[in-house]
Amino acid sequence: MLSLPARHRAVPRTTVPRGTSCTLEGEIPADRVHRLEQRLPGPTRGESVLECAFDRYAPVTGTPPARPRTDHSPLDRKEYLLHVVRRVR
């Protein structure tokens, strides 16, 4: 069961068995939480509970994420203002 969190770059800290269940505490990057939450019900047959709390900011490792601009650049002031004026009307 530890392989699923590991595939989402989670780092386990403590594992506490409690009867037929187990509590796993650790760290996971914020951008991976949603993906883990979606995949967790399958291997646990829907009996898992995922609780998350933001802990800290950390530097990005590897290539930083990028999102392409979908509208006009505010650095081209003339074109940008023309585009904004058209939206207002």
pLDDT at residue 1 in the model: 62
* Domain ranges, ordered by start, for the chain: 1-56
pLDDT bin (cut points 50, 70, 90) of residue 88 is low
Helix (H, G, I), strand (E, B) or coil at 32: helix
In this structure, how many other beta carbons lie within 10 angstroms of the beta carbon of residue 5? 20
* pLDDT tens-digit readout, 18-77: 888 888 888 888 888 888 888 888 888 887 888 888 888 888 888 888 888 777 777 888
Q: Which CATH number fits domain 1-56: 3.30.43, 3.30.70, 2.40.50, 3.40.50?
A: 3.30.70
Measuring CA to CA, which residue among 62, 1, 58 is closest to residue 29? 58
Q: Residue 52 in contact with residue 45, Cβ under 8 Å?
A: no
pLDDT at residue 70 in the model: 76
* 87 or 50, higher pLDDT: 50
